[in-house]
Structure 1
Amino acid sequence: MRLAWVMGRLTASRRVTNTPAGAWLICEALDAEALDNKPMHARPRTKPMAESLVVFDHLGAGEGDVIAVAESTEATNPFRPDKIVIDAYCAAILDTVNIQQ
């Protein structure tokens, strides 16, 4: 699991039949350097983002939120026993992140 910042939403004109209701989010993967307790919108981007993700969400995350992302097989666990095509899932919407080094 890793943390990501929600940059926006993705709109698709079609969906796979068994995909549950929810939203697709465009997210930026975050590392410890990016999580410096400043609001995400207050940070000027000095270099391109390292990695972006498309994340399925049915928790209601919005633009600017920091979320916990489950990937790969773990992303489908909340929907078992149904088989769905999701590679990244919003497992939590985080209020605060505290890093101690």
Structure 2
Amino acid sequence: MKLHRIIGQVTLSRGHAGYANARLLLAEPEGWTAIGGPRESAPDLIVVWDDLGAGEGSRVAVSDGAEAAQPFRPELKAVDAYNAAIIDCVHVDPRAVARIQFDQPE
């Protein structure tokens, strides 16, 4: 799982029948920014299937790949990213953060 921040919603004008009643959100990966590291200048955004009610600004734990479709079993869904949890807060030992060598953006 990876941490992401919800930055918007996705609206489908037409979609596959498997997406009926789907709530799709646009999410930005947090990566090291969750613990004070540098923000990527142009992060890759992803579309996340949300059943938990996350809103804009929410920090979420996203499962991706084959694991993203597991909550729908035995149904088959064309899902590549699923919101598995809404994160209230992240606590990291500052001594551990101090030992991390962040790559500096060019």
**TM-score, normalisation: structure 2:** 0.78
Comparing both chains, which one has the higher relative contact order based on Cα–Cα distances under 8 Å and sequence gaps of 6 or more?
1
Question: Over aligned residues, Cα RMSD in angstroms?
Answer: 1.7
Structure 1 spans left out of the alignment, 5+ residues: 38-45
1:16 maps to 2:27: no
Q: Flag the structure with larger Rg.
A: 2
Aligned partners of 1:11 and 1:52: how far apart in 2? Answer: 15
In structure 2, the residue matched to 1:28 is 28
Which protein has the bigger helix share?
Answer: 2
**Matched-pair contact (CA < 8 Å) for 1:5–1:28:** yes
C-alpha separation in 2, matches of 1:74 and 1:36: 25
- Tell me the equivalent position of 1:6: 6
Structure 2 residue runs of 5 or longer lacking an equivalent are: 97-106
1:43-87 deviations in whole A, cap 9, x for unaligned? xxx763322111110110000000000001000000001001110
Aligned length: 92
**Offset of residue 31 of structure 1:** 1.2
Runs of 4+ aligned residues of structure 1 deviating over 4 Å after TM superposition are: none
> CA deviation digits over 1:12-59, x for unaligned, max 9?
111221235331111110112x1137xxxxxxxx76332211111011
Distance in 2 (alpha carbons) for counterparts of 1:80 and 1:7: 28
Distance 1:20 1:68 in 2: 23
